[in-house]
Chains A and B, each alone.
Chain A
Amino acid sequence: MQPEPNRPIEVDPNQPTQGGPESNDSTQGRPDSGEGDVAVAGVEGEPGPARTSPKVIAIHALTIRGLREAIPGLVAAFAWLQVSGGVRSFGIVGILLAAAAALVGLAALSWYRFTYQVANRQLIISQGIFSRRVRTIPVDRIRAIDSQVNPLHRVLGLARLKIEAAAAGTGNEEAEIDGLPTETAAVLRGDLLRARRRPAASAASSATGADRDGSRTTEAGPRPAGGFDAHRRSDGHPDEAGTELLDEPLEEVEYSRSRLSWLLYAPLVGSYLAIPLAGLVFLSQFVDDLPDSWFSWANVDPSTFSAADFVLAGLGLVGLLAIGAVIGAVFLNWRFLLVKRGELMVSERGLLTRRTVSVEIPRIRGYTLSEGLGMRLVRAARLTALITGVSTANSRSQLLPLGPRREAVDVAERAVRRFDSPLRRHPPAALRRRLVRAVLPGAAVLVTGLILGVVAVIIVGVALTILGIPLGIDRYRSLGHGSDGESFAVRSGSLVRQTTVMQRRAVVGWKVQQSLFQKRAGVSTVTALVGAGTGAYSALDADSADALNLAASNGGRWARELRPQPEAHR
């Protein structure tokens, strides 16, 4: 309970070697940490700065990244060429060779200048060919580490680690270690995550007490690390984290493994349909460069088409889009696998580029189940986790990219927590308000059309108005909220219906909003502020007393200020 001087995150590269103020865990034996963490760094067998595999030079020289880094050098080289007698004296081959040599040389230089080191509970990465940049990330601030294996990396047996750290101000800035041998990468990732695991976990559990979630039950059971912990305890540092044996078998629980048939859901999801469209747009810019003779088959007069031809063309286009969506899903989600490994939730996916994402289970605060309109037709869903410090837009939070709803609910239950309380409907006033909102845009168009006297606008207005009715009704039917004691849920949305289940301890604040209209209708919008996902999850137009009850009962003692006033109860 000793106050930390640096609540806003500070990264000070000039920390003294003994445990500095960067660590959260005042309960730990501080003086020992310097020693203990050198062992973490000892991936390469020595505590000093380590380099990545030299094979990465090949990758950097071959890819655009290398080219980008090489541009200053190349510009200088060309300038020198101009000065020393022009291009002709060297010949084109000579220039190409020189350029290639420069690329390789620069890649080698940048490899040589790149070192990483774990020391004193900090990950220190220094890089930069001409200007040196040293980045120091306290191990405790590391939110997650992804491993990515691109095709070239796979050929060479390398991996790229992306380290997401909580940085002040800039949101999440990623550090990157490119070109570690796959095993080293796995070991380093595990080490780093474990090194900071214990403080975070103990802080979370001490802060929440009764709010422990079901997903952490294994921690209470016999852990594989037990023997090692016992050993440490004899040293008098039972809580010293991050030095578990590297070859220790971690218990592994499989939560989900994708089936091929799930890829067929892709055409019903907007974001997957966008993949082939984006591809078409990308390709279309090359059309002008291609010889016209390639398109002679397309020189058909459209006026000779019959209606059937148009229908066929339309169907063909839809079919192509669908196939493109499936192909996109294959590349992205191929052999999706979600397992729990110790206290990490690890997911793998991707065909050419295989992404492995590890997330700490104690940082998971809930989940969002998203069902788009098309997905609801076939009872499919997508599941994302609410992870503190990680926005939902981040693909890291995915627990199930796309699968049957039943599977999504099942994964949510096992990986996060079971939520079984029926959601409470919102009062009829909410239906009225949803309907008004859904119909108003169409009505506005209609009125405009009537004023201007344009038939087309009137028709569009009528169509939009009529479409607004089922939309409003569906939006109302989506609304709901509920609470089962440890977690609570809010649901809304029609085009994408989102059910978010949050643990009580996820709440960092409550917001209650009431406009004049809402007040007259006896409804309020209550919003849970959470440090994960989008940051705020609302129950729209809930009955005012219900809304306040939801807020007051989901939070600590502090939330009780929001209890509905007794005389206010309807």
Chain B
Amino acid sequence: MADPQAPGPVSVQNVTGPHSGPHGTADPAEPMGSEPPQSELTASGPTASGPTASGLTASGADGPREPQWRVASSAIGLWTVQEIIGALFLLIPAMAASLFVPDAAPRWLVVTSDILPWALAAFFLAEVVVLPRYKYAVHRWEVTPDGIYTLTGWLSRTWILVPISRIQTVDVTRGPLQRMFGLATVSVRTASAQGSVEIEQLEAYTAAQVADDLSKRANLYDDDAT
């Protein structure tokens, strides 16, 4: 599932570049009419946008605009594995429990215990197939000229915009699963106890580039970012 097009030390443009999703061929031209580029990332950003922004996940009438870039496509694989693990944690006990229901139990209990594991299994199967793809379709992030902008959540959606001038620390973390998929998470913290932004499931190289770029630019601001 890993995105094949991330070879070694190439320019950021190639890496942040098009993870061509289910729809949306990346359109490398057309920089958006914004401020002069302050970083390579911002300059190269729009390459990842293209039609995705107006696709099936367009934010509709009510939200702010969507961040332009998708997470790495291998995130689908990672999320699938995570969902399977989570599902097994519930399924196995349910199956085991259904084995131990004695035949002498009330009829409704026996019937339920026969059906329930299969119903659960069907539900989880659907979830494992659908959810990662849906998440991939709705999760977005972007480094804007002045900030870091994310959109997460699939039922209730959360947009977070943090200006680079107020960044306190930038961390890159990689869990064991993420390592298997070549992914990483960038965590951006601010002075606010509740003001941290996480961009999950970026390609490791992209994550390192983003973290580096953000912390460099954050350091250009000469105050204590409060």
Contact count band on A: 35 or more
Interface centre among A510, A556, A559 (most CB of B within 10 A): A510
Contact B149 A561 (CB under 8 A): yes
Q: If the complex has contacts A508-B166, A509-B166, A556-B163, are A565 and B65 also in contact, measured as CB distance less than 8 A?
A: yes
A210 within 8 Å of B (CB atoms) = no
A514 to chain B, nearest CB (A): 5
Contact A536 B219 (CB under 8 A): no
Q: If the complex has contacts A513-B156, A514-B157, A562-B159, are A544 and B62 also in contact, measured as CB distance less than 8 A?
A: yes
A391 cross-chain contacts in B, Cβ below 8 A: 193
Q: If the complex has contacts A508-B166, A558-B146, A561-B144, are A514 and B62 also in contact, measured as CB distance less than 8 A?
A: yes
The answer, among B64, B144, B226, for a CB contact under 8 Å with A558, is: B144
Instruction: A144 to B131: give the CA distance in the assembly, Å.
Output: 49
Closest to B166 in A: A508
A341 within 8 Å of B (CB atoms) = no
Interface string of B141-153 (1 = CB under 8 A from A): 0001111010000
Instruction: A565 to B66: give the CA distance in the assembly, Å.
Output: 10
Closest to B157 in A: A514
B215 cross-chain contacts in A, Cβ below 8 A: 7
Instruction: A76 to B179: give the CA distance in the assembly, Å.
Output: 53
A117 to chain B, nearest CB (A): 24
A231 within 8 Å of B (CB atoms) = no
Interface centre among A26, A518, A557, A570 (most CB of B within 10 A): A557
B26 within 8 Å of A (CB atoms) = no
Contact B220 A1 (CB under 8 A): yes
B190 cross-chain contacts in A, Cβ below 8 A: 508-509, 529, 531
Interface string of A1-39 (1 = CB under 8 A from B): 101100110000000000000001011000000000000
B63 cross-chain contacts in A, Cβ below 8 A: 512, 514, 519, 524, 544, 568
Task: Count how many chain B residues have C-beta atoms less than 8 Å from C-beta atoms of the other chain.
Answer: 45
Interface centre among A4, A24, A512, A529 (most CB of B within 10 A): A529
Q: If the complex has contacts A508-B162, A509-B161, are A3 and B220 also in contact, measured as CB distance less than 8 A?
A: yes
Instruction: A507 to B223: give the CA distance in the assembly, Å.
Output: 14
Closest to A388 in B: B226
A561 cross-chain contacts in B, Cβ below 8 A: 64-65, 144, 147, 149, 161
A204 cross-chain contacts in B, Cβ below 8 A: 223
Contact B65 A531 (CB under 8 A): no
B218 within 8 Å of A (CB atoms) = yes
Contact B193 A535 (CB under 8 A): yes
Q: If the complex has contacts A1-B222, A568-B61, are A531 and B192 also in contact, measured as CB distance less than 8 A?
A: yes
Contact A7 B65 (CB under 8 A): no
B173 within 8 Å of A (CB atoms) = no
Instruction: A555 to B163: give the CA distance in the assembly, Å.
Output: 9
Instruction: A532 to B194: give the CA distance in the assembly, Å.
Output: 10
A27 cross-chain contacts in B, Cβ below 8 A: 222
Contact B146 A511 (CB under 8 A): no
B88 within 8 Å of A (CB atoms) = no
Instruction: For chain A, residues 359 to 380, give those with C-beta under 8 angstroms from any C-beta of chain B.
Output: 363, 365
The 9 closest A-B pairs by CB, nearest first: A531-B191, A529-B195, A558-B146, A535-B193, A515-B156, A509-B162, A388-B226, A203-B223, A508-B166
Residues of B within 8 A of A (CB): 35, 59-65, 144-147, 149, 155-166, 168-169, 190-195, 197, 215-216, 218-226
A-B contact list, 28 entries, CB within 8 Å? A1-B220, A4-B219, A7-B218, A24-B223, A203-B223, A203-B224, A365-B226, A388-B224, A508-B162, A508-B226, A509-B162, A509-B166, A509-B197, A515-B157, A518-B156, A529-B194, A529-B195, A530-B191, A530-B192, A551-B161, A558-B147, A558-B161, A561-B161, A563-B65, A565-B64, A567-B61, A568-B61, A568-B63
Residues of A within 8 A of B (CB): 1, 3-4, 7-8, 24, 26-27, 200, 203-204, 206-207, 363, 365, 388-389, 391, 507-516, 518-519, 522, 524, 527, 529-532, 534-536, 544, 548, 551, 555-559, 561-565, 567-568, 570
